[in-house]
Structure 1
Amino acid sequence: MVVSNHIANNIAVYLGSNNGTFSRPIEHSTGTGSAPYKVAIGDFNNDHRLDIAVANFGTNNVGIFLGLGDGSFTNQKMLSTSSSRPISISLADLNNDMRLDIVTVNYGTHSISILYGYGNGNFSGPTTYFMGYDSFPSSLVVRDFNNDKYLDIAVANYGTNDVGILFGNANGTFANQIAFSTGFGSHPYSITAGYFNDDVFLDIAVANYGMNEIGVLLSYGNGSFANQVTYSTGSSSPYFIDVGDLNQDNRLDIVVTNHGTNNIAVLLGLGNGIFANPMVYSTGASSSISLVIEDFNKDNRLDIIVVSNDTGAIDILLGSYEGFSYRTAYSTGSLPRSVAVGDFNNDDRLDIVVANWGSNDFSILLGYGNGSFTNQSRYAIDNAPYSVAIGDFNNDNRLDIVVANGAANEVTVLLGHGNGSFANQIKYSTGSIPRSVAVGDFNNDNQLDIVVANYFSNNVSVLLGYGNGYFANQTTYSTGSGPLSVGVDDFNNDNRLDIVVTNYFSNNVSVLLGYGNGSFADQITYLTGSGPRSVALADFNNDNQLDIVVVNRDTNDISVLLGYGDSSFANEIRGILKNEMTYASGGGSKLRYVIVGDMNNDAQLDILVANYDQMMLSTGSNSHPSSIAIGDFDGDTELDIAVTNYGTKTANILLGNGKGTFTSQTSYKIDFVSPPFTITSADFNNDRRSETIVAYDDTDNVDILVAYNNVSFETITTYISGSQSLSITVGDFDNDNQLDIIVAYQYSYNMSTLLGYGNGSFSNAIRYSIPSYPQFVAVGDFNNDNRSDIVVAHFYTNDVSVLRGYGNGSFSNTITYPIGFHPFSVAVGDFNNDNLLDIVVASGDINDVSVLLGYGNGSFANQIKYSTGSNLGYITVGDFNNDNRLDIVVAYGNTDNLKILLGD
């Protein structure tokens, strides 16, 4: 890694160790007053060794450092940029001679310069291209934007609020720029390029510093671009931008440094040119000015390095697959301080124990084995329990508990009964204010012992166990000042347990090596940050030696001490914590606790740090929602909801975020003449957005409406279908790979099919007879013959009928199944994940839904009923929280809201 130091007039080289860490910097002078701005790396003399080019703003030149292949470099050779002051630099072979050339962005002369490489480390004089008066170009990117096999240059023009593209010629020269606006006052400061919508045409993204937004310009592939689409960064001014696939979904994501707000922002790409809202990650600095995206620890996941101007720091954010799911909260006692897990009732399911400092008790939450837990059972103990640990202290194969009681100067042992309950407490004296407890076999007698960190007496207490649930009196060992957290493991590989303690007031950790007989050597101390609060142990650099990680409360960072395996440790490596879900941050966070584990199953240890019903979505008053459909109406690949409101003759669109929640709805008055009764959606014209079809209560028409970029709708085609069209569904009924429509009529014994042509238009209606009044119709392949079948709910005959499709637009005779009372709506899906389609029916008058599980041959099991407690309306299904389980949405006509039932 190479960093330019603007004030110090040098560049610093950090040699990587392939595990995400780097050597101390090796500095190379760029000359007095050079004020280097940006650096670039490439092989300039074709010796297969990396060289460095640096834009020296202060001395009007480009500095070249040729690499010797061992991490060292020659002295700088300077290439003049004449009167121009270079502020940005990029490398590419612009004239197709297999030699790297240099392009600089020049401050003051409103230009860019090209220095053509000779392949021996030397370069031509600058060729300059003027970018326009007051353009103040700030950044550039070199790519082929018009697919002519010649590289082009795209420049962010800060002053003129545009992106200027200079298209390349075959001889390495460039045409005059063509400008694409980024908006008045946008002041684009940084630019990058990538394939954002999977169309093999390079797109552009810019950081618009002046408007606190990111601009995306999608390419048409011919050298022109669509108008900019912007994404707000809130109160942050984006300063530097880059792209990479950060979540390994084969879609490019955007990363920007935010000036003034101590963070960077990540916008995940959806692969269709649209990006999710920004997620922010703390950097601890208000002037993060540059970043690099690369896999620094060789785990096949992209990491980010951020350069911060005000702190002089380089922050490394190591990539992981994803963050953590939303929390589920469980009540405990007052002021819980410590938690541990174990199987307390011997059911092979993990349970939780919590020490409640404020209520002088501890809570037991028994686990169900599916990630959920019972309500707490609480057990009283002495004053101010601060820390808890578990183990089998009496060798009865049942877990017991030991608690450090801070205000009573003792530990309490509670022997488990193996059913989730515990015997009365047994007390043992410790030092003053015990704050942390851990267990281990310190004298190699196969019996568990206890160690306690005593905060006020500046020592640890060791209580040797007899194996019957009782312990010897304490033996104390001196530590530093204010021991707060204790850990146990073997640091010198002698098969004897050792102790490590954080010393809050001494700003260090103490290591006490065990002799294997229950006694310990005098402490060895290692410096940490200020106010070390909690400690955890693991092998962080995969050298099979234990390392130490410490949370530093007062400096809001962590210290990592890498172990040598001989009881000694390297000097600490410190850094502000940066984590996807902001588990810990900079100033004022008052970090409290740390633990380690493989949180995302990537075989790499992670650090977790502690700082100090269903859903109801209103559709408006008196709206009386009558039908609901799901589709992607805004083109972000996440499922959205559309609702027709019978009472107000409107529709609501609720945009989904893929997590089972939705934005506040926006009502679109589509000027319905009649009350809309039924809605469904599909992509009939193959534009990758869902269109909607609406049927009405008192007309013979169905309308097809198309969605535009602003998620507004416009009626484009009306079809006459039959008398009072009540239900609509879509599918490919004639196997031509184009979507068709089926409409059921409320007061007749028939339905109609409109065969689609794939361009949004349809054939005239083809009518089919059915045995009873249809209330609702849905489609699916129920017998796995790759032909679409139909299920129809019959309100008055209290049944549903299944019609098997022949694949030519016609259907078999009906097979009926009894359903409760007045079946009102029907939907299909695989509810038990057996890869066979099932049916779900909402009954109008008996407050339940019925599920008919499919056998895969066109027949179904008898209904299974589920009470809902309300009169139901229309029903549909979809996976709204991306858990691979189908969910159900129901529109309540009598309560003016929607209900989302997430599947188990």
Structure 2
Amino acid sequence: WFPFQEETRGCRMKDHSFNAFNAGLPGIRRWGLLALLVFSLPGAASAGASRGWFRPAGTVTIAEEPLAGAAGDFNGDGATDLAVALGTSHRVAILLGDGKGGFTPGARVSVARRPISLLSGDLTGDGVADLVVASLFGNRVTLLRGAGGGAFTEAAVFPVTAAPRALVRLTSPSPVTFRVAWVNIRGEVVVSDGFEGEGMHREAGDLPTDLAVGDFDGDGREDLAVTSFNDGALRLFLAAGDGSFAPPRRFEAGRRPVAVCPGDFDGDGHLDAVVADTGSNFEGFDGALLLFAGQGDGTFSPPIEILRGGVFLALACGDLDGDRIDDLVAATHPTEALTRTDLLLFSGGRGGALSPLQRLRSGDETRAILITEFTGDGRPDLVGFNAVSNTLSLFRNRLR
């Protein structure tokens, strides 16, 4: 029912029982709140064929409900490794990459209950990759300091009162600390500088579901975009010069938006945003992808419906084909066959269109998508984190 080229080789589907996950979102019966991870590698891929971007590159079985992930070189060998948030065991699992597309198990680090979002980077300034973990039920945001060799130790904890999710990293105003942000179930976006004090709190709508960072008004500062489930809105917090944020600008974003992904999808130099709206959720399979074209001044044109139908689970975006225009990947249940999740690939292009290119069969309940290079060829690849089938689906970029 949609014009995608299908690729299904290499991804095996398994039948697993589902451990219900409900983060307080009314109407969500099976999949709960979704983590979003976006890692863009601009210019990494060369332009090539317009169809058949990706091919399956294997499946990694990892029990205990993989909900989210992050990429980095955690053992210092130059190859991309993965960190995976495990929802039922309350741990972060490290998978060490060989630089050719293979992964072997590494350390497992215990964290607070229900880790749902991760980010990686050298947050402590020692040249070693660290991790930040948001634990939904544990009410904590935790800094795991990289110890080298793929090991991590708990270095700092930011106690929160209301179910954090959707971590993003911002540029810190201080060279000796880090700045991260998240949203919580109380309807706030929280910005923390090095986990000092209580952080900066801003109202972010009724039940915020996702958070993204980008410069939407062209002033060189990082702004924040938040989707909120219960009031069907996209909110934009424009950064002020003192490190704070202006009151949000509100945009209608469908019925129940769960994810937002920023990118320049039309090549005009202005940051756009795509929002995943679940519609009536599993009652009608009438979700939609909405494109908000940025005007470069902190506003958007009225949203354009890219696709209607299915239940959308997660988004990721970045320049996948090396044309300097961002592309989009969306995870969806396309039909009432709930054991099936597809990854839909759209190509950005001048003129404002996001063109459907490819459909990939992923595992069961792809809660997050990661764009990162793990095969050593310099091209951005894809990882799907499948919560119910307890697998990671790997897809290799085959553009030449």
**Do the two structures share a fold, i.e. TM-score over 0.5?**
yes
Deviation at 1:440, TM superposition (A): 0.9
Distance 1:560 1:265, change over 3 A: closer
Shift, 1:383, TM fit: 0.6
**Correspondent of 1:478 among 203, 207, 211:** 203
1:459 to 159, 180, 188: 188
Deviation at 1:514, TM superposition (A): 1.4
Which of 596, 617, 621 matches 2:317?
A: 596
Name the CA distance, whole Å, in 1 between partners of 2:172 and 2:243.
Answer: 5
Matched residue SS, 2:295 = coil
Whole-Å separation in 2 of the counterparts to 1:556 and 1:537: 19
Give 2:331's aligned amino acid: A
Aligned to 1:851: none
Match of 2:249 among 507, 524, 534: 524
Which residue number in structure 2 is paired with residue 135 of structure 1? none
Alpha-carbon distance, 1:599 to partner: 2.8
Cα shift at 1:265:
8.5
In 2, Cα distance between the equivalents of 1:459 and 1:485?
11
Residue type matched to 1:541 in 2?
A: D
Contact 1:551/1:557 (8 A) holds in 2: yes
Report if aligned partners of 2:5, 2:51 keep a CA contact under 8 Å in 1.
no
Matches within 5 A, 1:73-92: none
Task: Say if 1:497 and 1:514, in contact at 8 Å, map to a contact too.
Answer: yes
Superposition deviation, residue 540 in structure 1: 0.8
Identify which of structures 1 and 2 has the higher relative contact order when contacts are C-alpha pairs closer than 8 Å and 6+ apart: 2
Q: Is the 8 A contact 2:266 2:325 kept in 1?
A: no
Q: Given residue 381 of structure 1, which amino acid in structure 2 is its aligned partner?
A: V
- Kindly provide the amino acid, as one letter, of the partner of residue 192 in structure 2: L
Q: What's the counterpart of residue 115 of structure 2?
A: 385
- 1:562 pairs with one of 293, 296, 305: 293
Equivalent in the alignment of 1:397: 127
Aligned letter for 2:122? D
CA distances 1:724-755 after superposition (whole Å, capped 9, x unpaired)? xxxxxxxxxxxxxxxxxxxxxxxxxxxxxxxx
Structure ID, larger Rg: 1
1:449 paired residue number: 179
Equivalent of 1:350 in 80, 97, 114? 80
Taking the TM superposition and a 5 Å limit, the aligned residue runs for 1:689-700 are none
Match 2:164 to one of 434, 448, 459:
434
Kept after mapping to 1: 8 A contact 2:131/2:146: yes
Structure 2 residue identity aligned to 1:347: D
Change (3 A) 1:498 1:445: farther
The aligned counterpart of 2:263 is 538
Q: Which residue of 2 aligns with 1:325?
A: 55
Query: What do you get for the CA RMSD once the two structures are aligned?
Result: 2.4
- Which residue identity is paired with 1:350? T
Cα distance in 1 for residues equivalent to 2:4 and 2:198 = 55
Following superposition, the deviation at residue 458 of structure 1 comes to 0.3
Query: How many Å apart are 1:402 and its aligned residue?
Result: 0.6
Cα distance in 2 for partners of 1:341, 1:368 equals 13
Instruction: Work out whether residues 405 and 411 of structure 1, in 8 Å CA contact, stay in contact via their aligned partners in 2.
Output: yes
Q: Distance between the aligned counterparts of 1:444 and 1:424, measured in 2?
A: 22
- Take 1:361 and 1:371, find their aligned partners in 2: how far apart are those partners? 24
**Aligned ranges for residues 27-42 of structure 1 at < 5 Å?**
none
Contact 2:264 2:325 in 1 (8 A): no
Counterpart for residue 362 of structure 1 = 92
Relative distance call for 1:443 and 1:514 in structure 2 (3 A) is farther
Cα drift, residue 418 of structure 1: 2.7
Cα distance, 1:547 vs. partner? 0.8
Structure 2 counterpart SS, 1:358 = coil
Partner of 2:16: none
Secondary structure at 1:325's aligned position in 2? strand
Give, in angstroms, the shift of residue 500 of structure 1.
0.8
* 2:69 matches 1:339: yes
Q: Residues 54-80 of structure 1, C-alpha deviation per residue, up to 9 Å, x if partnerless?
A: xxxxxxxxxxxxxxxxxxxxxxxxxxx
The superposition leaves residues 543-570 of structure 1 with CA deviations (integer Å, 9 ceiling, x where unpaired) of: 1111111111234221111111111111
1:601-616 matches, cutoff 5 A: 601-611=322-332
Partner of 2:220: 495
Structure-2 change in CA distance of 1:264 and 1:570 (3 Å) = closer
Q: Show the 5 A alignment for 1:800-819.
A: none
Specify the code of the residue in structure 2 equivalent to 1:459. E
Partners of 1:459 and 1:265 in 2: CA distance: 38
Deviation at 1:349, TM superposition (A): 1.4
CA distance in 1, matches of 2:85, 2:174: 29
SS of match in other structure, 1:423? strand
Q: Distance in 1 between the 2:172 and 2:127 partners?
A: 20
SS of the equivalent of 2:219 reads coil
- Alignment partners' CA distance in 2, 1:510 and 1:341: 28
Match of 1:373 in 2: 103
Match of 2:190, SS? Answer: strand
Flag as ranges the 4+ runs of structure 1 deviating above 4 A.
263-267
Q: Name the SS for the 1:495 alignment partner.
A: coil
Question: 1:282 — aligned with what?
Answer: none
Contact 1:442 1:497 in 2 (8 A): no
Alpha-carbon offset, residue 513 of structure 1: 1.2
Q: Distance in 2 between matches of 1:423 and 1:389?
A: 15
Question: For residues 266 and 350 of structure 1, what CA distance do their matches in structure 2 show?
Answer: 29
Q: Offset at 1:426? A: 2.5
CA separation in 1, counterparts of 2:268 and 2:3?
32
- SS of corresponding position for 1:359: coil
CA 1:477/1:431 → structure 2, altered by over 3 Å: closer, same or farther?
Answer: farther
Task: Give CA-to-partner distance per residue, 1:172-219, whole Å, 9 cap, x none.
Answer: xxxxxxxxxxxxxxxxxxxxxxxxxxxxxxxxxxxxxxxxxxxxxxxx
Mapped contact 2:5–2:52 kept (Cα < 8 A): no
Gap change, CA 1:536 and 1:265, over 3 Å in 2: closer
AA in 2 matched with 1:595: A
Distance 1:464 1:333, change over 3 A: farther
Whole-angstrom CA distance in 1 between matches of 2:121 and 2:5: 43
The answer as to whether partners of 1:444 and 1:517 remain within 8 angstroms in 2 is: no
Contact 1:332 1:376 in 2 (8 A): no
2:104 match: secondary structure:
coil
Local SS of the residue matching 1:428: strand
The alignment covers a number of residue pairs equal to 287
Does residue 1:416 correspond to 2:141, yes or no? no
Aligned-residue offset at 1:333: 4.1
Please say if residues 539 and 545 of structure 1, whose CA atoms lie closer than 8 Å, have aligned partners that are also in contact: yes
Question: CA distance change for structure 1 residues 523 and 321 in 2, over 3 Å: closer, same or farther?
Answer: same
> Which string of whole-angstrom CA distances, capped at 9 and with x for unpartnered residues, describes residues 597-624 of structure 1?
2334454422111236xxxxxxxxxxxx
Equivalence for 1:649: none
**Alignment equivalent of 2:277, drawn from 552, 566, 577:** 552
Q: Which consecutive unaligned segments of at least 5 residues does structure 2 have?
A: 7-46, 280-285, 334-397
